[in-house]
Amino acid sequence: MTEKQRLLDNRYMRMARIWAENSYCERRKVGALLVKNQMIISDGYNGTPSGFENKCEDENNVSKPYVLHAEANAISKIARSHNSSDNATLYVTASPCIECAKLIIQAGIKRVVYGEKYRIMDGVELLERANIEVLFLEEEK
Ligand SMILES: [Zn+2]
């Protein structure tokens, strides 16, 4: 990887971390950016669907089943735009789950950079099986 790419990856990941601050979920805040040709073409953070209450957890502090993950929000947002996720790079602050990995594959995303490892890594394994370039990028101290 070139030095320029490394710098860009770190910058986009910092932006994804800032974007995660938009999430009103209390248990976990995740941010995602879709980048193509050095343009941010979509963004997302975890949360309930449009028009629903801005609360992710139920009374038992369990995430509601209809909360969308940051990656799913970024990918579905682009479905409403005139842009395309084909060949894009996804920056996401946490490793994608298997459900999001399926969406990432079908959305034609070619590269995934993630910033934090989750306890279950089956999503990342699925991406690798689909020959998507996956890069773990630790937060720069
Ligand atoms: Zn997910």
Across all residues in the chain, what is the average pLDDT? 96
Give 121 Cα–ligand 1 centroid separation in angstroms.
Answer: 11
Spell out the domain ranges in the chain.
Answer: 3-136
pLDDT of residue 141: 65
Cα(104)–Cα(86) distance, integer angstroms: 10
Residue 2 has pLDDT above 70, yes or no: yes
Q: Is 56 annotated as a binding residue?
A: no
Query: For residues 71 and 103, is the Cβ–Cβ distance under 8 A?
Result: yes
Give 101 Cα–ligand 1 centroid separation in angstroms.
Answer: 7
Residue 139 has pLDDT above 80, yes or no: no
Percentage of residues in the chain with pLDDT exceeding 90? 95
3-state SS, residue 74: helix
pLDDT tens sequence across 30-62: 999 999 999 999 999 999 999 999 999 999 999
In this prediction, residue 26 has a pLDDT band, given cuts at 50, 70 and 90, of very high
Q: Which residues have their alpha-adjacent CB atom under 5 A from ion ligand 1?
A: 69, 97, 100
* 3-136 CATH fold: Cytidine Deaminase; domain 2 (3.40.140)
Give 25 Cα–ligand 1 centroid separation in angstroms.
Answer: 14
pLDDT tens sequence across 95-127: 999 999 999 999 999 999 999 998 899 999 999
Q: Which residues contact 104 (CB under 8 A, 6 or more apart)?
A: 71, 75, 90, 96, 112, 127, 132
pTM of the model: 0.95
